[in-house]
Each structure stands twice: as structure tokens, then as C-alpha cells.
Structure 1
Amino acid sequence: MSRTPPSRRADFAAFRSLTTRWKDNDAYGHINNASYYSFIDTAITLWQIESGMDISGPGGLRFVAAASGCTYFEEARFPDVLHLGVRVSRIGSSSVRYEVGVFRNDDDRACTEGFFVHVCVDEAMRPLPIPDPARAAFESLLHPSGGAGSPDPAGPV
């Protein structure tokens, strides 16, 4: 089975840098897989906030994760600085698929790539159409190839 090669930095529209912490390492001495999910979720959430999306409180937009996944290409370790590139590969009527490339230090190829599918929902957890301002923000991250090369099914923080 052939494996899709990792994406390059140029394949992503927005970036967020995160410094790894000692506690992110696992018993094998590399970044634990659960930490990657946290990094990816943090990069997406910060991008939403920086894009003007009110995602907190009773009047905020509510997005819930419907699916996620991660592909690992190379190890990262403490004290690497990770640069997370964010793009959107699909926008539906109520859902959006984010793809995030994780780049170690100055590397041009992703060491890890992950995705989250978020669904816009109301307080009763029923899907809602994505509001036009949010849709426009998502479109600014739309990857022209529709996410080819990624897994399928700012400043330091």
C-alpha cells in the first residue's frame, strides 16, 4: 500500500506556533498522540477566535467535532517548536473539514497531519446552516485541491 507523502508548508493558509512542553512527551520520548490532537484543536479554535467567530457563551456559534483523524510521518519531541498550518478542504451546509499540518521547527514537510470535521449545531445539538460570516472565513482557508495529500475518514501559545 502506497502512502500519501506529507504536505508542505505552502499547502496551508494560516499558521499558529506552539512550543512543546516536557509533559507532551510519552514513555517513548516523543510527543504523545493525544497531545497532537490537543495541538490541532487549539490551532483551529484560535483561528476561529482570530477570525471573529464568537464561539463562547449562550449566543456564540457552536461547533462540535463529528470526526477526527491523524497520520504520523516523523517524531517530534520536547523542546521542538511546532508550526500548525490550517486549511479547509470541504464546506458543507452545516459542516466544515479542517486539515492541519504539524511542522517541526524549520521543516518544510509535515511531521504529522490531522483533520477535524466540525458541525454547526444549535443548543439541542441539531445541525444548523453555517452562518454567512463564518462561511466566508472558512472559504479564506479553502484548499484548492480539496485536501489532496491529507488523511481522509501566529504567535507562540
Structure 2
Amino acid sequence: MNATARPQPGMRSHYRAFRPITTRWMDNDQYGHVNNVVYYAWFDTAVNAHLIEHGALDPAHGSTIGFVVETQCHYFAPLAFPQNVEAGIRVAHIGASSVRYEVGLFAEGAETTAARGHFVHVYVDRTTQRPVALPSVLRKVLEELL
């Protein structure tokens, strides 16, 4: 039987940009902590908000949009309402039409992640939904997150 290394929390210093997230009453589940599906919404929100704010994504009118093709999350410590969360963002890989984003979720001020994960976007033409080369403005913003 092969032993696989157990995932470990990430460090704040490993991330290039941060976005504050305010938990909501409805985020908590019956166990009194944020439900696991909410973490994925935070990943999506943190990355896409960063791209929009830096002029690299126009979800309503842009000709290029990102489709999530892979996602994963490791959980290390619970988060709960009312608590402020900070999402750290970095890019692990830039391909011709794809990007692997890595996101760490931190309790406000914490040095290690409560959860960390990744997702892969494949960028496609909005009309044909076929992969396209990353637009130069998007590539520039992504390179700043490497």
C-alpha cells in the first residue's frame, strides 16, 4: 500500500493577491460551520472578481469566458458566521487556453489556510464554446499572480 502525503495547510506568503470575504448567516450548516459547497463559491468569487477588477474578464459581454473543468479543496480548520475570511489567490500554471488557479482561505489575520484548493479554467469563445488562446490582457494579469 502506497502512503500518500497528507495535504497540509498553505501559508499566507504563498499567495499573490487577497480578497476579503464576509461570511453570511446562511453559509453555516447544521453543524455550525460554513458548509463545504460555500468554499467553492468563494474560490470562484475571489478569482473572477480579481480578473474583472483588473480588466481581464467581462462576464456579461466578453467574447472569451472561462469554463471550470477541474476543482478540488482540502479542509483544515472550520470557518463560521460571523467571521471574516481572506481569500489568497495565485496562479500555478498558464497554458495556451487554460489556467490553474490556487486559492487559500484564511480566517482573518491567520497565517495558515483553513482550506486550500484549486480549479482549472479553460477559456473558450462565448459563441462556439471551443477553446481559444488566452487574450493578452488576461495573460498579463495571470502572469502577475504566478
Q: Specify the alignment match of 2:60 in structure 1.
A: 57
**What is the TM-score when the length of structure 1 is the normalising length?**
0.86
Are 1:85 and 2:88 an aligned pair?
A: yes
Structure 1 residues 17 and 72: CA distance shift in structure 2, 3 A = same
Deviations 1:1-35 (Å, cap 9, x if unpaired)?
A: 43132111110000000110110001111100111
Deviations 1:102-121 (Å, cap 9, x if unpaired)?
A: 00022100000121100110
Q: Specify the alignment match of 2:69 in structure 1.
A: 66
Deviations 1:23-60 (Å, cap 9, x if unpaired)?
A: 00011111001111111110011001111123223444
Any unmatched runs of 5+ in structure 2? Answer: none
Q: Specify the alignment match of 1:124 in structure 2.
A: 128
Any unmatched runs of 5+ in structure 1? Answer: 143-157
* Counterparts of 1:56 and 1:28, CA distance in 2: 35
1:133 alignment partner, SS class: helix
Aligned residues with identical type, % of pairs: 42
Q: How many residues are matched?
A: 142
4+ long deviations beyond 6 Å: none
* Counterparts of 2:65 and 2:110, CA distance in 1: 34
Q: What pairs up with 1:22-37 in 2 under 5 angstroms?
A: 22-37=25-40
Structure number having the greater strand percentage: 2
Bigger drift between 48-57 and 10-19 goes to: 48-57
Q: Specify the alignment match of 2:112 in structure 1.
A: 109
CA RMSD of aligned residues (A): 1.2
Structure 1 residue 88: deviation in Å? 0.2
Bigger drift between 28-37 and 55-64 goes to: 55-64
Q: Specify the alignment match of 1:154 in structure 2.
A: none
* Counterparts of 1:35 and 1:59, CA distance in 2: 26
Question: Quick one: which of 83, 96, 99 aligns to 1:96?
Answer: 99
